[in-house]
Amino acid sequence: MKIIAIKKSVTAQKILDSAEALFAESGYDGVSLRHITRHAGVELALPNYYFGTKLELFKHVIERRSEILNEERMSALTRLENSASIDSIISAFTEPFLRRTISGDIGWQNYSRLVAQIANSARWSREIMSHEFDPVALEFVRRTKICFPSAKDQDVFWGFHFLLGAMTLTFAQTGRIDILSKELCKTTDLVGIYKRMVPFLSAGFSAICEA
């Protein structure tokens, strides 16, 4: 009942939006509830009323958009034929995140940066990453095993690990490659990046799973 109330509450959504932006910028430890309420323009007691502790608020921030992503990813993966190529499997998993990130919605851009943080932190591996993303990740692994029936399980899992690293760093738009390439490559060109990323990852999966 409380989850429904949160989804319907404009104030609760403002708190989530502010928390998302601040966590993406400064990380979990760099943000206090006071920072969040000041940013959202609400009373200090309201985050606790809607979400409980700062940790619970943090989990709600991740869960709000992971529900959308996971539903779209799972739907795309389960629609694939058993004969689907690895390109199609990778696209089914990554395209929903790409589409949301390039939509122009600043919330999804903040979320992309936040997911990159937690995906690269052992601190959140079990409590958040596993809890929120394991079911759809395991569906990706299952589909990849169908694509490469003779592949060793550990090679498929390593392939997913490499995919996750490439995807989270890319969608976070850190600007690292812009500096390194002297603006020859731009992290804001997500469509151009995606056209290169899928075949790159596909070749990687083929290399280790067909060896």
Same domain for 189 and 88: yes
User: Do 100 and 165 fall into the same domain?
Assistant: yes
The CATH number linked to 2 is 1.10.10.60
pLDDT of residue 6: 65
57: in domain = no
Note whether 179 and 91 are same-domain residues.
yes
How many domains in the chain?
Answer: 2
In a domain, 8, yes or no: yes
Q: Is residue 128 part of a domain?
A: yes
Q: Please tell me the predicted confidence (pLDDT) of residue 29.
A: 95
Question: Above 70 in pLDDT, residue 8?
Answer: no
- Shared-domain flag, residues 69 and 19: no
Domain range holding 8?
Answer: 1-52
pLDDT value of position 207: 97
72/163 same-domain check: yes
**Residue 1 scores a pLDDT above 90:** no
Residue-wise over 123-134: b if at least 16 C-beta within 10 A, else e?
A: ebeeebbeebbe
Residue 117 burial (10 A CB sphere; 0-12, 13-18, 19+): middle
Q: pLDDT (tens digit, 9 = 90+) per residue, 42-66? A: 999 999 999 999 999 999 999 999 9
Question: In the prediction, which pLDDT does 127 show?
Answer: 86
Confidence band, pLDDT 50/70/90 cuts, at residue 159: very high
Q: Tell whether 165 and 74 lie within a shared domain.
A: yes
Instruction: Please tell me the number of Cα atoms within 13 Å of 150 on its side-chain side.
Output: 5
Q: Mean pLDDT in the chain?
A: 93
Output the domain CATH number for residue 177.
1.10.357.10
Q: What is the pLDDT of residues 86-143, one digit of tens each?
A: 999 999 999 999 999 988 889 999 999 999 999 988 999 888 999 999 999 999 999 9
User: Residue 4 — pLDDT band, cuts 50, 70, 90?
Assistant: low
Q: Does the residue 86 lie in any domain?
A: yes
pLDDT at residue 36, rounded to an integer: 97
**Structural domain includes residue 59:** no
Give the lowest-confidence range in 16-20, 72-76, 102-106, 148-152.
Answer: 102-106
Structure letter (DSSP) for residue 174:
-
Q: How far apart are CA 50 and CA 7, in angstroms?
A: 10
- Whether 113 and 196 share a structural domain: yes
Shared domain for 115 and 187, answered yes or no, is yes
pLDDT at site 118: 93
